[in-house]
Amino acid sequence: MGVCNKKSALGLFAALLLLAVGLPARAEVCATDDAERRVCLPAPAARIASLSPGATELIYAAGAGDKVVAVVDYSDYPPAAQEVPSLGSHTRIDVERLVALSPTLVIGWVTGNPPDQLKTIEALGIPVFYVEPRSFTDVASAIERLGTLAGSADEAQREASRFRHGMAEIRKRYAGKAPVRVFYQVWDEPLMTINDAHLIGKVLSICGGVNVFGDLERLVPRIGDASVLAADPEAILAGGMGEENRDWLTHWAQYPDLTAVTRDNLFFVPPSLIQRPTPRLLEGSRLFCEKLEDARARR
C-alpha cells in the first residue's frame, strides 16, 4: 500500500511538472529608448504615465491607450486622453501625485522634461522610457518600441507600417517638384524657427521646400524680423498659439515688399499636426505640401 501511494505521488508530481513546462513563461520585455538606454520590464506595462503631449499620442497610437493612467497638460489627442488625470505641465511635474498613481512605466521627453524630476522618478524605482523622435523612421520606431513595452506589439506594428507607407507616398509624389523658399515660424516672442535637422525641416524637404534658415546651428534658432526680411522667403508657414489662431501670420502683412506677402503665401498649419512627432505628422505633411503647391501656382 505504501509503495502504491509513493508511485501515485510520483505520478502526480510528474504530471504537474509537465503542466508547468507547458505553461508560457512570463518573460521580461525590453526596448532601447531615444536616450540610447536599454529599458526592461518584468512584464508588459499595465499602468503608463506620459510626460508630454507627443508621448501621449504615441502611446495611444501603439494601442496602449487603455493603460494610460496619467498625462500632462495639452495632451488633447486622441479625445480619450483628455479624460486622463493630468500631472501638470511637462516642465513641472507633480511627482508626488505621479507616485500615488503607481505607474509601472513613465514615458519621458528627452529635452522637454526637467532632468532632476526624471532622475527622482527613476530613483523611486519607476522605469522611465525616453522618447524624442528626430526623423520619420524614429516616429515609426517609437510606436513599435512602446508597443513592445505595453504588450500591444501587433497593433503598434500596424500603425507604424501605415505611417511609413504614407510618408513614402508623400516623398514619391513631391519628388522633383520646383523648390519653394520657406520660413517656418515656431514661436512669436521671441521669434523662433527650425533648422534642417529638425523633424519639421525634414517635412519641408520632402515637400520640395527650402528652409531659408536650414543652415543655422541650433535646432530651434531665435531670429528677428530683419533676418526674415533679408531671407525674403517665398512662403511663410506658421502654427500660432492654437488650432485656429492665425495671428502670427497677420504680423507679416506689415511688410508688403516681402515676397510671401506680395504673393499671399502666408499659410496657417494647425500646430498639433506638425509640431508633435506622432502619426498625425502624416496629415500635417500632406497639408504642408499642399500649401507649397499653392505657392508654386501663384508664381
What are phi and psi for residue 83, nearest 5 degrees? -90, -5
> What amino acid is encoded at 158 in this protein?
R
The tens digit of pLDDT for each residue in 96-153 reads 999 999 999 999 999 999 999 999 999 999 999 999 999 999 999 999 999 999 999 9
* Longest Cα–Cα distance in the chain: 107
Grid cell in block for residue 226: 530683419
Number of helices and strands (H, E) in the chain?
Answer: 12, 12
**Beta-carbon contacts of residue 211 (< 8 Å; ≥ 6 apart):** 182, 183, 184, 193, 194, 195, 196, 201, 204, 205
**Res 19: pLDDT:** 46
Q: Where are the beta strands (DSSP E) in 110-228?
A: 128-131, 180-185, 209-211
166-207 pLDDT per residue, tens: 999 999 999 999 999 999 999 999 999 999 999 999 999 999
pLDDT bracket for residue 243 (50, 70, 90): low
Positive or negative: CA dihedral 276, 278, 279, 285: positive
Write down the pLDDT at residue 180.
98
Give me the pLDDT at residue 247, please: 79
pLDDT of residue 18: 47
Tell me the domains of the chain and their CATH numbers: 11-163 (3.40.50.1980), 176-297 (3.40.50.1980)
Query: pTM for the full model?
Result: 0.86
Residue 245's pLDDT is what? 64
Strands 38-41, 29-32: parallel, antiparallel or unpaired by DSSP?
antiparallel
Query: DSSP for 14-32?
Result: HHHHHHHHHSPP---EEEE
* 3-class SS of residue 67: helix
Taking only the tens place, the pLDDT of each residue in 130-142 is 999 999 999 999 9
Q: Which residue is associated with the grid cell 498613481?
A: 101
